[in-house]
Chain A
Amino acid sequence: MTVRHRGALAAMAAGAAALTAAALVACGSQPAEDVGAGEVAALASPTPAPTPTATGAGAPRVPVNAGTLPAAGETIEPARLSIPRIRVAATVDPVGVDQRTGEFDVPPSVDQVGWYRYGPGLEATAGSVVIAGHVDSADQGKGAFFRLRELDRGDTLTATGSDGRERRYRVVAREEYLKTKIPLDRYFARDGRPRLTLITCGGPFDPKTRHYRDNIVVTAVPA
């Protein structure tokens, strides 16, 4: 065996070692697989209310309402969110939309999470109640939803309403989406079965833009 041979073999061994290491890291950092995506789609499919037709059989019943000016509805805001499995006990703030960016106005404090006040409240019999929170922040460290991606089907959580009543939910799905691909309309829907949607950030982090690539979405239904 020549010196040349030995050098070449050493190079190949080093190459194989490097590839193995890289492959191991790649596998190890794969995000947990999505679960329950089908169920989320089913929950979101609208339950169409039959609209009356004038030409249909029988006497049509057309809904008639007094044309009174719309008053503010009775909305039960979520006030506290508790997820024992991942040690979350957070205050929920009603939030809207960032006027400048048009994005969800997640509370600046990473210990708090935000409820989308334009969508359904806990009293709703249809649609998605959305609560979003920080996974972390550059200056405050880990956020309330740091471990949201660890939730799995069957885990339970409790949302306490502004009426003081606790409502229990059961996780049916956990999904990860590229932020550019996430079907936000499905999660901010006001129709479909009643459900609670928790959203945070996840996936690879870009240190230059200081943004995560993905959103983690957990869907829960009344337990």
Chain B
Amino acid sequence: MQFAMFRRVAAGGAVAALTFAGVGAATISPAYAASAKVSVVHGIPDTPVDVYVDGKKTLDNFQPGDVAGPLTLPEGSYDIALTKPGEPVGQAILKVDAAKVPGGANISLAAHLSADGQPRITPFVNDVSKVGAGKARLIVRHTAAAPAVDVRAGGTPVFQDLTNPKEAKADVDAGTVKADVVLAGTDTVAIGPADLNLKEGTATVVYAIGSAEAKNLELVAQTITGLHSAPHGVPSGSGGLAGTGVATWWYALAGAGVLLLVGGGARLATARTGRR
């Protein structure tokens, strides 16, 4: 049933023109950017796939709810195809031709359902800028066949009116939050609540996947590490008992010494020439 739907989509070419160029441009750092990091997130329920990159099988029997990567891809254009496990790439159920991968970017490819339940691939550019010391980044992506939602932490909406296939993000204090997803503007819980451990110096990317109609909405998470910053300093003394170095008045003494030496010498010299 679901596969039949896939084939229709692929045949119709609904997603064939997809490129990452637009979304990627903002985060490219050209100086050293020759390759990109690409992760793949499987958010289509009940549909294991093989993933082909340029006709080459890259992921075998990739399961819904799994996250693959990151894979380092040189900057360039790639053909990406998803097949039913074991089927030839020619019988792809979902594919993207000549997808542009910009250098230096960190990208997540999400295979997921659109708001109206159609399978598709959406590229997201991950914000991998550093977070402040003590902070963690939370990124939430609506990739489910569901209407607009709010994301709540501890019962308080933090991201509101998020629609498929958009994301919302914030840098928050590291720690564990109890999060749930509700239909936008309501208290009707669609997913959760779930404990989210937001580890300091990481980005936690949470995908809402599945279908509201099929009642299989759930969360898939991807964690990006290495975004930590050092504290601004280590202030660890205010007494002065351990002070080293030379106090100012020693410099003054040295200065006075120099003056006396030069002055005395000059006086001697003038006295001698005067007598001659």
Contacts and interface: CB of A to CB of B under 8 A. Distances in A.
B261 interface: yes
B67 interface: yes
A23 B234 contact: no
Interface in A58-104: 59-60, 62-73, 96-97, 99, 101-104
B59 interface: yes
From B72, B174, B202, residue with most partner A Cβ within 10 Å = B72
A9 B267 CA distance: 9
Contacts of A47: none
B236 A134 contact: yes
B239 A138 contact: yes
Interface stretch (B82-90, B155-163, B242-250): B242-250
B133 to A, nearest CB: 5
A19 B240 contact: no
A135 B242 contact: yes
A136 B242 contact: yes
Contact of B254 (A18, A116, A210): A18
Interface string B207-238: 10000000000011111011011111111111
B236 A55 contact: no
- Secondary structure type dominating chain B contacts: mixed
Contacts of A63: 68-69
B58 A62 contact: yes
A58 to B, nearest CB: 11
Given A68-B221, A179-B233, A203 B256 contact: no
Chain B interface bracket (under 10, 10 to 19, 20 to 34, 35 or more): 35 or more
Contact of A53 (B71, B174, B237, B243): B71
Chain A interface bracket (under 10, 10 to 19, 20 to 34, 35 or more): 35 or more
A205 B238 CA distance: 8
B134 A118 contact: yes
B15 to A, nearest CB: 20
A136 B241 contact: yes
B195 interface: yes
Interface in A1-27: 2, 4-5, 7-23, 25-26
A202 B242 contact: yes
B236 A132 contact: yes
A125 to B, nearest CB: 14
B257 interface: yes
Given A10-B264, A15-B264, A52-B72, A211 B235 contact: yes
Nearest to B194: A69
A49 B62 CA distance: 23
B142 interface: no
A104 B235 contact: yes
B104 interface: no
B132 A102 contact: yes
A138 B238 contact: yes
B246 to A, nearest CB: 5
B183 interface: no
B234 A132 contact: yes
Contacts of A115: none
Interface of A: 2, 4-5, 7-23, 25-26, 29-31, 51-55, 59-60, 62-73, 96-97, 99, 101-104, 106, 116, 118-119, 132-138, 140-143, 145-146, 149, 179, 182, 184-185, 187-188, 190-191, 199-205, 207, 210-213, 215
Given A17-B257, A53-B35, 11 more contacts: A8-B268, A9-B264, A12-B268, A15-B264, A22-B246, A118-B201, A143-B239, A187-B230, A207-B240, A211-B235, A212-B240
13 contacts: A5-B268, A8-B263, A11-B260, A12-B264, A19-B257, A54-B78, A102-B231, A102-B232, A136-B238, A136-B240, A136-B241, A184-B234, A187-B230
Closest 4 CB pairs of A and B: A15-B260, A204-B245, A18-B257, A205-B243
